[in-house]
């Protein structure tokens, strides 16, 4: 038993679903080597889901924040950085008889009859406003 503890490493598993996605953490597993971790990750996490790429990273190689630290604390309101901080624009555009435009409208416009093999996923990430 003691030997098991010594020989098996914990690996964190990251899956990239399509070429337009980043790798996303899905869980962890124990394995004796990175190669075996890769095999096991496929069996554990990708029995149904599609993927184009897989990373396994030894947990000992990960530097993480602590959940208690004030690392992410915000001293002040940051709505000036967010689209949601500019709702006033819509009202002002209406004063000029124009409607508010967002980036999705431009993305859609440049795609119009431009690329026959274009794929669905190619949209900008929707970032939630906090």
Partner 1 sequence: MLTEEARFQAFMDRINRGEKIEATDWMPEEYRLLLIKLIHMHGVSEIMGAYPEKEWVPKAPTLKRKLAIMAKVQDEVGHGQLLLRVVEDLAAPLNKTREDLIEDIYKNKVKFHNVFHMEARSWADAGLIGWLVDGAAITIQASLLQSSYGPYARVLKRVCAEESFHMKHGESIILALATGTPEQRKMLQEALDYWWESLLFFFGPREITPAVDRMLYYRIRVLTNEELRQKYLDKYVPRIQSLGIKIPDPQLRFDREKNCWVYTDPDWDRFSRMVHFNEGPKSRERVEMRRQAHEDQRWVREALLRARKQAV
List of residues contacting partner 1 (CB under 8 A): 19-22, 53, 78, 80-83, 85-86, 88-89, 92-93, 95-98, 101-103, 105-107, 109-111, 114-115, 117-119, 122-127
Q: What is the 3-state secondary structure (H, E, C) of the chain?
A: CHHHHHHCEEEEEEEECCCCCCCEEEEEEEECCHHHHHHHHHHHHCCCCCCCEEEEEEHHHCCCCCCCCHHHCCCCCCHHHCHHHHCHHHHHHHHCCCCCCCHHHHHHHHHCCCCCCCCCCCCCCCCCCC
Q: Which is nearer to partner 1, 30 or 54 (CB)?
A: 54
Min dist. Cβ of residue 30 to partner 1 (A): 27
Supply 36's token pair.
């075996």
Q: Would you say 7 or 98 has its CB closer to partner 1?
A: 98
Least distance to partner 1, CB of residue 101, Å: 7
Least Å distance, CB 68 to partner 1, is: 26
Q: What's the closest the beta carbon of residue 125 comes to partner 1, in angstroms? A: 4
Contacts of 53 (CB under 8 A, 6+ apart): 15, 16, 23
User: 52 vs 62, which CB is nearer to partner 1?
Assistant: 52
Residue closer to partner 1 (CB basis): 59 or 81: 81
């Amino acid at each position: 038993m003691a030997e098991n503890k010594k020989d098996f490493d914990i690996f964190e598993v990251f899956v990239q679903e399509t070429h337009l996605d980043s790798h996303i953490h899905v869980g962890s597993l124990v394995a004796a080597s990175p190669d075996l971790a890769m095999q096991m990750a496929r069996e554990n996490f990708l029995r149904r889901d599609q993927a184009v790429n897989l990373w396994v990273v030894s947990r000992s190689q990960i530097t993480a924040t602590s959940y208690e630290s004030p690392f992410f604390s915000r001293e002040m309101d940051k709505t000036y950085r967010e689209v949601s901080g500019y709702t006033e624009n819509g009202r002002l555009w209406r004063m000029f008889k124009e409607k508010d435009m967002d980036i999705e409208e431009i993305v859609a416009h440049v795609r119009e009859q431009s690329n026959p093999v274009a794929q669905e996923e190619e949209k900008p990430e929707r970032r939630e406003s906090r």
